[in-house]
């Protein structure tokens, strides 16, 4: 090996370090994640490092997951078949359905959301022969089928179709919507009420819509009084993971950090020193 001093960018991103990070991030996956999934999980640096050291396709082959070539902006569609295929290795050897934290730790938030949409936890647990987690002995189910029908029925009847997320929120029925995800899923309840799906572009203000103006406004509010850019862990801790994700996809973190006049997060230097030892 040469005696040249490694650059700050290269410190800590050896092949072994990349492989260790990827093994944790890819646990339970059969298909290589999209770039947006790396960003959402706070692994933009990991993606950049593996891109410099062989590229995504090479690392997918090395890690034993399927590489899927996707056109720019293409999002693979979640089908029951895909949900079953991605759940299979994640649930192997389990007797009890995994918790939300376990899905998050495995980087499988999108899979968990697909489970909720396509049948719900109860239905998928039954298909895989797993027990639902019992968080408190003797606990009773607060949202039974009759209550869901009673609370959601008037909104569905008024709209003549299935409500969008924004319409659930405006009606104050977020808890009912969560119960629908847990007990049957959207498709089951939409068929129960015999109504069509919500239109693809329902004209209801939705908090998922991120504009440049909104990103800047929320970032300035969140970073007020700071001199360093907060690491992804702090965004997540403070319930701002969506803001971080939006900033990543709309120009990148570096651009927004410079725009707000902030220094890089200090934890980057700590991680670099740790990677050197």
Element (H, E) at 271: helix 267-276
Q: Please report, in tens digits, the pLDDT of each residue of the chain (277 residues total).
A: 443 333 334 346 788 889 888 988 888 788 888 877 787 777 877 887 888 788 888 898 888 888 777 665 555 678 888 888 888 777 777 778 888 877 776 667 788 888 888 888 888 888 888 887 665 444 455 677 888 888 899 999 999 999 988 888 888 887 788 778 777 778 888 888 999 987 765 444 444 477 888 888 889 988 988 888 888 878 877 778 778 877 877 777 878 888 899 888 765 444 444 444 4
pLDDT at 108: 77
The tokens describing 7, both together, are 């650059």
**DSSP letter assigned to residue 198:** P
Distances (CA, A) of 156 to 139, 171, 173, 193, 196: 30, 11, 12, 8, 10
Q: pTM value?
A: 0.32
Q: How many helices (H) and strands (E) does the chain have?
A: 17, 0
User: Would the CA dihedral through 213, 214, 216, 220 be positive or negative?
Assistant: positive
pLDDT at 136: 44
């Amino acid at each position: 090996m040469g005696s040249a001093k490694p650059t700050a960018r290269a410190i800590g991103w050896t092949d072994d370090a990349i492989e260790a990070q990827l093994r944790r991030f890819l646990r339970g996956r059969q298909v290589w994640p999209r770039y947006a999934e790396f960003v959402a999980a706070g692994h933009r640096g990991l993606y950049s490092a593996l891109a410099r050291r062989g590229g995504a396709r090479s690392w997918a082959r090395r890690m034993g997951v399927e590489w899927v070539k996707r056109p720019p902006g293409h999002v693979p569609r979640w089908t029951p078949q895909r949900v079953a295929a991605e759940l299979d290795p994640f649930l192997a050897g389990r007797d009890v359905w995994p918790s939300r934290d376990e899905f998050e730790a495995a980087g499988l938030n999108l899979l968990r959301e697909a489970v909720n949409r396509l049948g719900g936890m109860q239905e998928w647990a039954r298909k895989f022969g797993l027990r639902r987690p019992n968080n408190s002995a003797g606990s009773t189910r607060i949202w039974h089928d009759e209550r869901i029908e009673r609370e959601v029925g008037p909104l569905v009847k008024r709209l003549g179709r299935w409500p969008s997320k924004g319409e659930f929120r405006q009606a104050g029925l977020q808890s009912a919507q969560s119960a629908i995800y847990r007990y049957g899923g959207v498709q089951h309840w939409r068929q129960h009420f015999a109504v069509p799906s919500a239109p693809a572009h329902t004209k209801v203000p939705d908090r998922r819509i991120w504009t440049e103006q909104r990103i800047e406004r929320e970032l300035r509010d969140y970073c007020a009084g700071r001199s360093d850019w907060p690491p992804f862990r702090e965004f997540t801790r403070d319930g701002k993971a969506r803001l971080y994700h939006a900033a990543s996809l709309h120009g990148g973190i570096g651009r927004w950090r410079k725009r707000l006049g902030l220094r890089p997060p200090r934890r980057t230097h700590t991680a670099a020193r740790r990677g050197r030892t």
